[in-house]
Amino acid sequence: MPLGHIMRLDLERIALEYVVPCLHDIGFCYLDNFLGEVVGDCVLERVKRMHRDGELADGQLAGPSRGGAKRHLRGDQIKWIGGTEEGCEAINFLLTLIDRLASYRINYFPICIFQAMVACYPGNGTGYVRHVDNPNGDGRCITCIYYLNKNWDSKLHGGILRIFPEGKSYVADVEPIFDRLLFFWSDRRNPHEVQPSYATRYAMTVWYFDAEERAEAKKKFRNLT
């Protein structure tokens, strides 16, 4: 049986037997050892090169807080990529696999992928305050985050992604360890935060969209403008 066919069967099984049930039961899930050491290393080295070459730009800042000073909502540096850029073959492979996993949800709603966001927290104690990815119906329905941090020790390095599932009495702490792929609902069901990071922390995020909600959001934006 061709390797590609085996991979498709494995991804379908993982999606239908694990990812989909977990999303519906608890709203999030993660897969470890997603790409494997060799391919994961290729993705990591490309992301590190982007960082070294100054290709990442500061994430958005908040407005004024006490005393009129600027308060950081987020302390990451980011770059948007499509995966087809020169030297991004491993990243493109990663995005293709994530896309295949997400495609097995097609019976639930129509989805589409846009660019991926490479993010780096530089290790100076910055994080990302509690927020919701899609609080206003912009179309985002699933957030996928791939982590790239080898030998990560959250007791020393911090950087945990803490999810506050809506209506639940618990929180979920996800360590950003190497080759871990996390899924969660992007809307108000999953407020979350990135706790302060004290070592360089790399991740790549992809959002999947409900096509109808996305079209409606674009229509509302056009009407406003």
Residue by residue, pLDDT tens for the chain (225 residues) are 333 444 556 888 899 899 999 999 999 999 999 999 999 999 999 999 999 999 999 886 433 444 433 345 788 999 999 999 999 999 999 999 998 888 776 555 556 666 899 999 999 999 999 999 999 889 899 999 999 999 999 999 999 999 999 988 999 999 999 999 999 999 999 999 999 999 999 999 999 988 788 888 888 878 776
Let me know how long the chain is.
Answer: 225
Q: How far is CA 203 from the centre of its chain?
A: 7
User: 28-60+72-224, what's its fold?
Assistant: Jelly Rolls (2.60.120)
pLDDT of residue 214: 81
pLDDT of residue 110: 57
Instruction: Tell me the pairing of strands 77-81 and 116-121.
Output: antiparallel
Distance CA 135, CA 80 (A): 21
